Each structure stands twice: as C-alpha cells, then as structure tokens.
Amino acid sequence: MRKTWQLWALWLTAVSVVTVQAGSDKSVTAAQVNGTWKTKYSEFKIWALGKQRLQIEFSGVYEYETPQGPTANEGEGSGFATIEGDTAIFKPEGAEEECQIPLRFAGGKLVVTQTGICGFGHNVSAAGTYKKVSTRKPKFGSD
C-alpha cells in the first residue's frame, strides 16, 4: 500500500509540473497582435513580419487647458520590435537610449508601459491599455 501511495504521489507531481509548464506558454499569434489599437488619445499600428518581428507606429496626444483655451501636444514614433511570448519591447527610431516601451498582449487588450524619454513631446506617453479597433493591415507612414 505504501508503495502504491508513493507511486501515486510521484505521478501527481509529474502531472502538475507538466501542467504548470504548459500553462506558462504565453505566446500570441500574428492574428492576435495585428491591427490598430486605440485609447482615447493614442494609437498603435502593429503588423507581424515573421520571425518574431513586429512593425510598429505610435501616435499620441496630450490635451490640456491654457488661458487661451484648449491645446495639445502631439508625438509619434515608429520602428520595429521583437516579440517573445506575449510581450514586445519597442524603442522608436531616434528615441533616447533609456526609452523602453514594453507592449503586452493579454486578454484581447494591449497593455503598454513606458520608461525613459521617448521623444514624443511634453507629457505625451505611450502608456495605457489599448483596445483593438481593426484587424486589417494598418497603413504605415513608410507605405
């Protein structure tokens, strides 16, 4: 009986390890990342190029009030990123060295954080949670 219990415990341990490893695969497909993603003031255009490379364009706006009325700062950046699992690290062409923009695709949303100065303009940031508004291939400025 003791031997049976030990074998049963060993089998359960092996199954749980396999399940954890299988569940930790957070890879996303091209269909999940491709398209146009928006927040109220910002937009990402993303297209998978193969071999874990993405073409990316960002445009954002920071609106604020002045004594003369409402105004805004605008910023944009483009370039390429490499994606591993569900996260791509984007650094726009010409951005400061410390600029880093992780893009995480999770639950049908794009969750973006930003560190460093990325050259978008005063208070313009890529950070936010984006909703996919189109699955069509975006038109990039370089097209």
User: What is the residue-level pLDDT of the chain in tens, covering all 143 positions?
Assistant: 544 444 333 333 333 333 233 334 578 999 999 999 999 999 999 999 999 999 999 999 999 999 999 999 999 999 999 999 999 999 999 999 999 999 999 999 999 999 998 999 889 999 999 999 999 999 998 66
Give pLDDT, residue 4.
43
Instruction: Return the structure tokens found at 20.
Output: 């954890």
Give pLDDT, residue 79.
96
Cα–Cα distance measured from residue 112 to residue 114, given in angstroms and rounded to the nearest whole number: 7
Which of 102, 111, 106, 54 is closest to 78 using CA atoms?
Answer: 54
Beta bridge partners of 129: 111
Beta bridge partners of 77: 58
Residue 122 has what DSSP assignment? T
Give pLDDT, residue 25.
57
Q: Which residues contact 97 (CB under 8 A, 6 or more apart)?
A: 116
Instruction: Give me the amino acid identity at 13.
Output: T
Distance of CA 60 to the CA centre of its chain: 15
Q: Which residues contact 74 (CB under 8 A, 6 or more apart)?
A: 59, 60, 61, 62, 121, 124
Give pLDDT, residue 143.
66
Cα–Cα distance measured from residue 40 to residue 19, given in angstroms and rounded to the nearest whole number: 39
Give pLDDT, residue 94.
92
Which of 114, 76, 115 is closest to 94 using CA atoms?
Answer: 76
> What Å distances lie between residue 126 and 63, 64, 85, 90, 92, CA to CA?
14, 17, 21, 11, 11
Give pLDDT, residue 21.
32
